[in-house]
């Protein structure tokens, strides 16, 4: 039996975690939330939360601990499932020792009979985001199969009674679904070898008032998200949240003496959704993104995809680049179609050689012109894929991912390469390395356009290994992770890249939902945000340039349309917004992001505060039932400070006439933070496609 528990507290800026650690027993999490005063009696806290045994429990009530096992009558799904010699291994891990610092705890659990050890690390990182990971070691003499090893098994404090999970599809990612945490809980599992479009590896739990807990598995492969109520049979409604990588049967074998780490899982608790977003952003900026502090300003992109598609030639691209430069574009990205025989999406993936048909002189002349126009050059690649119609496939038909004996079914006409194979990674490294060495390429758009069947952790780990090797060889190259839009977005890939492509859907009305949805976890500087063509190729919707450009400013701005097909007025409007973005990107990409509430469901508002400045967007997507929309109330300001408030031009053509005092908004009004946050500013937001930018500067 275990001793009286010792109590350990970890403190962040506004967060305290308290653990009760029983040697030879389990570690329990007894407090997760607001920072406790120094000197809090932790044993008393434990006693205050303790429950007596109820009638229908084992005589010794089971303790779920932080790595629940199938033992002692615990009813929850186990966080650890192992096999040895083909049979399920019954385990009984006991806490052997623990080490704590102010913000980190390492728990070592051992089962001498099963000859295994599990080490759990819990660490409060930047933004008070808690990062957890688990390492399992096989101390036995026979191999050990890990069927499942949860990265996080979080006993959810009972005050969290609702959850928001996500659903989505290609071009319509990350729809929120909020509901009560029901007794049957929640189970999500991906099977396509990547997180997918529906954000199943992100979750929000809602507590009293606006309190919210956000959780995420930092893993670019398949996941399991499980929320089970009353998991310990304690009858108190407590839910247990488990986040785990989903592994294939027989895939994860530990040789005697070997260890395996599960990918990290993260969670954070805040008293408001905007504050939770800021916590995740701080964490990503400080602890996850590669060398974030050294990043320069996020350059304005022009991407060739929605301008030219596969209709590429050196002349057309140079003309596009010239038009781009006139708009103020800083990076020209050549999308799909530049390699091998790739004249449509059914061929040539794997043949990563510049196509002599399209570029008889190679890429060098185009890149030289792009640079002469004052831009740097980016290139699209989709390294993990192979087209059956490709030289690579003809040479190495066995290099693709396949189920032995089964037909090789394609998706978008392509197969996936088996990234677990060294020779595959070596080939891809050589090709990509040569491209980067031979050309002045500042940026790669790294795509992944199919689900994987079969899938497996080896695929994700092979992808990571290739990406890591290329980044080590070319540390100056920026990389974007794209997977038909937002099919592979997670903190695992974001520890290796500089931005993600949130959706193939550039329709500004759709983006007004998609960008705020991703920004719950990702800051604006990593969210590619492009002005698309009108009509939009996916939705067919026509939208005014003023609206498209204002919406695209709130992200990493770019253009994915052909300026030659715009009117002079549209080009001028776009150029003006690109200039505005350049002026404000320092704020947008370092500040604190806030959601603005508005009584009209058609109005989306976002705002970024940074030092003495702030920039807000208020955009109407519907047709308001009232003539005079409610004022936009700002947030995150210093109530006592006074701000100069302006509405930067250009203004939306349809709405500008309704502005009562245009000169006052041009010159600037001086208002207190309190007035701006209580009364707000009355803007004409009656018509669809109306967006306003509000700029604020604190007056010394
Ligand atoms: C995917 C990407 C697009 C584009 C095309 C090119 O669909 O998401 O942005 O790059 O591939 O084939």
CA 248 to ligand 1 centroid distance, Å: 29
Kindly name the residue from 111, 447, 546, 562 that is annotated as catalytic.
Answer: 447
CA 611 to ligand 1 centroid distance, Å: 37
pLDDT the model gives residue 237: 64
Q: Name the residue among 175, 146, 149 with its Cα closest to residue 245.
A: 149
pLDDT the model gives residue 343: 98
* pTM greater than 0.85 (yes/no): yes
224 - beta bridge partners? 189, 244
pLDDT the model gives residue 646: 98
HEC secondary structure over 1-40: CCCCCEEEEEECCCEEEEEEECCCCCEEEEEEEECCCCCC
pLDDT the model gives residue 387: 98
CA 484 to ligand 1 centroid distance, Å: 6
For a ligand 1 pocket test, name from 380, 480, 503 the mutation site with the most ligand atoms within 8 angstroms of its C-beta: 380
Phi, psi angle pair for 339, to nearest 5°: -120, 160
499 - beta bridge partners? 480
Does the active-site annotation cover 504? yes
User: 314-327 vs 364-372: helix axis angle to the nearest 10?
Assistant: 20
Question: How far is the C-alpha of 435 from the C-alpha of 452, rounded, in Å?
Answer: 26
CA dihedral 41, 42, 47, 51 (to 10 degrees): 150
Question: How far is the C-alpha of 411 from the C-alpha of 174, rounded, in Å?
Answer: 22
Question: At 568, is the secondary structure helix, strand, or coil?
Answer: helix
CA-CA-CA-CA torsion sign (113, 114, 116, 118): negative
In Å, what is the CA distance from 540 to each residue of 387, 533, 564? 30, 10, 20
pLDDT the model gives residue 359: 98
Phi, psi angle pair for 327, to nearest 5°: -80, -10
- Give per-residue pLDDT as tens, 273-313: 999 999 999 999 999 999 999 999 999 999 999 999 999 99
Residue with the nearest Cα to atom 1 of ligand 1? Answer: 484
Residue with the nearest Cα to atom 7 of ligand 1? Answer: 484
pLDDT the model gives residue 505: 98
Q: Which residues contact 356 (CB under 8 A, 6 or more apart)?
A: none
Does the active-site annotation cover 391? no
Which residue's entry shows tokens 């030659």?
A: 564
H-only helix segments in 439-494: 457-473, 491-494
Question: At 676, is the secondary structure helix, strand, or coil?
Answer: helix
CA 447 to ligand 1 centroid distance, Å: 7
What is the chain's length?
700
In Å, what is the CA distance from 11 to each residue of 108, 202, 397, 439, 543? 21, 24, 54, 49, 49
Question: How far is the C-alpha of 672 from the C-alpha of 680, rounded, in Å?
Answer: 10
29 - beta bridge partners? 19
Pocket of ligand 1 (CB under 6 A): 305, 335-336, 345, 380, 447, 449, 482, 484-485, 501, 504
CA 555 to ligand 1 centroid distance, Å: 19
Residue with the nearest Cα to atom 9 of ligand 1? Answer: 504
pLDDT the model gives residue 182: 86
pLDDT the model gives residue 242: 97
- Give per-residue pLDDT as tens, 507-566: 999 999 999 999 999 999 999 999 999 999 999 999 999 999 999 999 999 999 999 999
Kindly name the residue from 111, 504, 546, 562 that is annotated as catalytic.
Answer: 504
Phi, psi angle pair for 682, to nearest 5°: -85, 115
pLDDT the model gives residue 51: 86
Query: 10-residue block means of pLDDT along the chain (700 residues)?
Result: 84 98 97 98 96 87 93 92 95 98 98 98 98 97 98 95 97 97 92 96 97 98 94 68 96 98 98 98 98 97 98 98 98 98 98 98 98 98 98 98 95 98 98 98 98 95 98 98 98 98 98 98 98 98 98 98 98 98 98 97 97 98 93 98 98 94 97 98 95 97
């Amino acid at each position: 039996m275990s001793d009286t528990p010792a109590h350990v507290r970890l403190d962040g800026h506004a967060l305290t975690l308290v653990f009760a650690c029983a040697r030879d027993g389990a570690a329990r999490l007894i407090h997760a939330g607001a920072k406790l005063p120094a000197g809090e009696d932790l044993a008393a806290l434990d006693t205050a939360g303790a429950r007596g045994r109820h009638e229908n429990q084992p005589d010794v009530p089971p303790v779920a601990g932080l790595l629940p096992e199938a033992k002692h009558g615990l009813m929850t799904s186990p966080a650890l499932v192992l096999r040895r010699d083909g049979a399920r291994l019954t385990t009984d891990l006991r806490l052997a020792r623990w080490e704590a610092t102010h913000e980190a705890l390492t728990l070592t659990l051992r089962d001498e009979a099963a000859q295994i050890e599990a080490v759990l690390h819990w660490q409060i990182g930047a933004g008070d985001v808690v990062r957890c990971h688990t390492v399992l070691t096989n101390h036995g003499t026979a191999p050990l199969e890990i069927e499942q090893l949860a990265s996080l098994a979080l006993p959810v404090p009972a005050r969290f009674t609702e959850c928001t999970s996500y659903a989505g599809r290609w071009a319509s990612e990350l729809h929120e679904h909020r509901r009560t945490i029901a007794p049957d809980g929640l189970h999500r599992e991906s099977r396509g070898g990547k997180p997918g479009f529906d954000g199943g590896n992100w979750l929000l739990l809602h507590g009293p008032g606006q309190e919210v807990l956000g959780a995420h598995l930092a893993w670019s492969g398949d996941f399991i998200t499980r929320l089970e109520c009353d998991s310990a049979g304690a009858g108190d409604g407590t839910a247990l949240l488990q986040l785990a990588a989903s592994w294939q049967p027989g895939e994860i074998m530990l040789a005697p003496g070997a260890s395996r780490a599960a990918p990290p899982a993260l969670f954070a608790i805040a008293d408001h959704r905007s504050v939770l977003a800021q916590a995740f952003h701080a964490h990503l900026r400080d602890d996850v993104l590669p060398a974030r502090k050294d990043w320069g300003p996020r350059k304005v992109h022009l991407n060739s995809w929605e301008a030219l598609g596969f209709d590429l030639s050196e002349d057309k691209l140079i003309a596009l680049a010239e038009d781009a430069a006139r708009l103020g574009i800083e990076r020209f990205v050549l999308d799909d179609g530049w390699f091998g025989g790739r004249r449509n999406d059914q061929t040539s993936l794997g043949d990563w050689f510049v196509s002599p048909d399209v570029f008889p002189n190679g890429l060098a002349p185009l890149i030289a012109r792009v640079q002469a126009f004052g831009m740097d050059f980016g290139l699209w690649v989709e390294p993990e894929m192979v087209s059956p119609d490709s030289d690579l496939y003809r040479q190495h038909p066995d290099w693709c991912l396949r189920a032995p004996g089964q037909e090789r079914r394609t998706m978008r006409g392509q197969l996936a390469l088996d990234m677990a194979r060294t020779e595959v990674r070596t080939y891809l490294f050589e090709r990509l390395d040569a491209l980067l060495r031979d050309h002045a390429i500042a940026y790669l758009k790294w795509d992944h356009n199919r689900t994987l069947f079969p899938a497996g952790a080896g695929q994700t780990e092979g992808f990571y290994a290739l990406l890591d090797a290329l980044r080590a060889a070319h540390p100056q190259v920026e990389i974007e992770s794209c997977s038909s839009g937002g099919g592979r977005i997670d903190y695992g890939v974001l520890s290796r890249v500089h931005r993600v492509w949130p959706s193939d859907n550039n329709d500004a009305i759709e983006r007004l939902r998609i960008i705020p949805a991703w920004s719950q976890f990702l800051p604006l500087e990593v969210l590619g945000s492009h002005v698309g063509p009108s009509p939009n190729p996916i939705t067919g919707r026509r939208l005014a340039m003023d609206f498209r450009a204002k919406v695209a400013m709130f992200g990493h701005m770019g253009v994915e349309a052909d300026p030659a097909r715009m009117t002079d007025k549209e080009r001028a409007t776009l150029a003006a917004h690109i200039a505005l973005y350049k002026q404000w990107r320092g704020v947008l990409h370092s500040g604190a992001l806030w959601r603005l509430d508005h009584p009209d469901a058609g109005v989306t508002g976002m705002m970024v505060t940074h030092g003495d400045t702030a920039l807000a967007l208020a955009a109407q997507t519907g047709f308001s039932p009232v003539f005079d929309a409610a004022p936009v109330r700002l947030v995150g300001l210093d109530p006592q400070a006074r701000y100069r408030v302006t509405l930067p031009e250009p203004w939306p053509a349809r709405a500008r006439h309704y502005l009562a005092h245009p000169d006052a908004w041009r010159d600037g009004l001086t208002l207190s933070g309190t007035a701006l946050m209580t009364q707000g500013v009355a803007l004409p937001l009656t018509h669809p496609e109306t967006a306003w930018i509000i700029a604020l500067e604190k007056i010394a």
